Amino acid sequence: MVQYTFFQVTGFFLYPLKHTYLVLFNTAALAKCKTHCYKFYTSCSVVPRENTSLLHNLISMGVDIQKVRKRQPGVLRKQITNEKGVAKFLQNKGASKQTIANIISRYPRAVTRNFDHLEERWRLWRNIFNSDLDIVKVIDRSPESFFRSSDNKNLEENINFLSSLDFTSKDLLRLFTTAPRTFSNSCELNKQMVKFLQDVCFSLGGDRPDDFVKNIITRNIYVFIKSTKRVKANIEFVQTALNLTDEEMLVFLQGPGVDILALSNEYLKMNFKNAEHKLLSLGCSQLDVKNFIINYVSVLCTAPSNLTSKIDYLLQEGIHLEQIVAKPGVLGCSLETLKRRFGVLRSIKYNFNKYGISILYCSSKRFATKVEKLCFVAKE
């Protein structure tokens, strides 16, 4: 049975009509017509073309266009840009043409910033940095830190807020150079993190929250670019896993434990469980595991396969587990370094039981000096 649908059509094709007509359409034919109309509309849709003038300018500046298309392709379709102005601005600040090309290649949206915005932002940064070239180095490494945000007022508020926490110019400079995204955060977000850390201090029985916050931030400046949810989860997991009292946790966080705050929670759990399993399987007690991790928190930042392979290799070379637990810093060396040093020490018949294993993870210069001294003693 053929189905029909009524449509109300008002005359408007050639000239306005005040009459309305009821038109009868076959439903199947209408669906077919609708499909063809959609395809026609889609094929005729206008897709903004890339700005050829912008393309020419960027290519002449040495910008990697393929990288731009991959990172922020929409920039190339903008009709109003300021690539020449941005290049001139950076050049006047001491940036080389190669540096400018690298900055724009990595963060194309930089070409949309106007001179007044750039000048004001530079002025704010310059209050912290010692020279224009210092700023150029940071922007070259992290262009988004300077160009991503257009809110200079927020930047100024962040600088004033962090300064109010008794951060010195040196502290702020370190934040800028190592974790510049801190200043791209909304000031409110940074305030939330500070409030959260102060609450952590109080919950653990501390009575100097401002000092606690400063200790945390200056020791791990990446905390500001992590969520309070992640930091909280990490604190709760480590305190439970290591069975630390509030007082122990308070001390731990302001010391080596601060490194765990910015880690992914899943990564932290995986590394902890791997280290715990490995040590317990070798005969360590739960207390040994606790002391080992407290004394060598870096183990929680080490991939499971790396930790396991290094412990196995040390045991294979005759190092006792007690020596590894007592001197966990040896696990900070790469497996290649350990193998190379064992080769050297084996050739001079080094006695690990007598002299210990500290020689395995000292600096290259100190290692060479110690080996030379041992060789001299052996000749005598």
**Do the domains at 46-150 and 265-379 have one common CATH topology?**
yes
Cβ–Cβ < 8 Å for 344, 371: yes
For residues 379 and 105, give the distance between their C-alpha atoms in angstroms, rounded to a whole number.
Answer: 60
Min mean pLDDT across 19-23, 78-82, 141-145, 319-323 is at 19-23
Q: State the average pLDDT over residues 32-61.
A: 69
> Over 60: is that where the pLDDT of 43 sits?
no
For residues 187 and 377, give the distance between their C-alpha atoms in angstroms, rounded to a whole number.
Answer: 62
Cβ–Cβ < 8 Å for 129, 173: yes
> Over 90: is that where the pLDDT of 23 sits?
no
Residue scoring higher pLDDT (213 or 40): 213
Is residue 150 very low, low, confident or very high in pLDDT (cuts 50, 70, 90)?
confident
Residue type, 353: N
Q: So what's the pLDDT on residue 62?
A: 94
Q: State the average pLDDT over residues 204-214.
A: 93
For residues 273 and 49, give the distance between their C-alpha atoms in angstroms, rounded to a whole number.
Answer: 53
Q: State the average pLDDT over residues 113-138.
A: 92
> Over 90: is that where the pLDDT of 35 sits?
no
For residues 129 and 177, give the distance between their C-alpha atoms in angstroms, rounded to a whole number.
Answer: 9
CATH superfamily of 265-379: Transcription termination factor 3, mitochondrial (1.25.70.10)
Residue type, 123: R
Residue 58's alpha-carbon distances to 42, 80, 210, 270, in angstroms, are 31, 14, 48, 46
Q: So what's the pLDDT on residue 271?
A: 93
> Over 50: is that where the pLDDT of 40 sits?
no
Is residue 376 very low, low, confident or very high in pLDDT (cuts 50, 70, 90)?
low
Cβ–Cβ < 8 Å for 180, 142: yes
Residue scoring higher pLDDT (134 or 33): 134
CATH class, domain 46-150, is mainly alpha
Q: So what's the pLDDT on residue 17?
A: 41
Angle at 240 between CA 274 and CA 251, to 5 degrees: 105
Of the chain, the percentage scoring pLDDT greater than 70 comes to: 86
H helices of 179-303, where?
187-203, 209-219, 228-241, 246-253, 265-281, 286-295
Domain locations in the chain as residue ranges = 4-44, 46-150, 265-379
H helices of 107-151, where?
115-126, 132-141, 143-147
> Over 60: is that where the pLDDT of 56 sits?
yes
Model pLDDT for residues 228-280, shown as the tens digit of each residue: 999 999 999 999 999 999 999 999 999 989 989 989 999 999 999 999 999 99
Strand partners, 9: 21
Of the chain, the percentage scoring pLDDT greater than 90 comes to: 57
For residues 290 and 241, give the distance between their C-alpha atoms in angstroms, rounded to a whole number.
Answer: 9
Cβ–Cβ < 8 Å for 104, 61: yes
Q: So what's the pLDDT on residue 46?
A: 53
In 3-state terms, what secondary structure has residue 5? strand
Q: Is the torsion defined by CA of 283, 287, 290, 294 positive or negative?
A: negative
> Over 60: is that where the pLDDT of 340 sits?
yes
How many C-beta atoms lie closer than 10 Å to residue 110's C-beta? 26
> Over 70: is that where the pLDDT of 22 sits?
no
Q: State the average pLDDT over residues 138-155.
A: 88
> Over 70: is that where the pLDDT of 352 sits?
yes
Cβ–Cβ < 8 Å for 85, 117: no
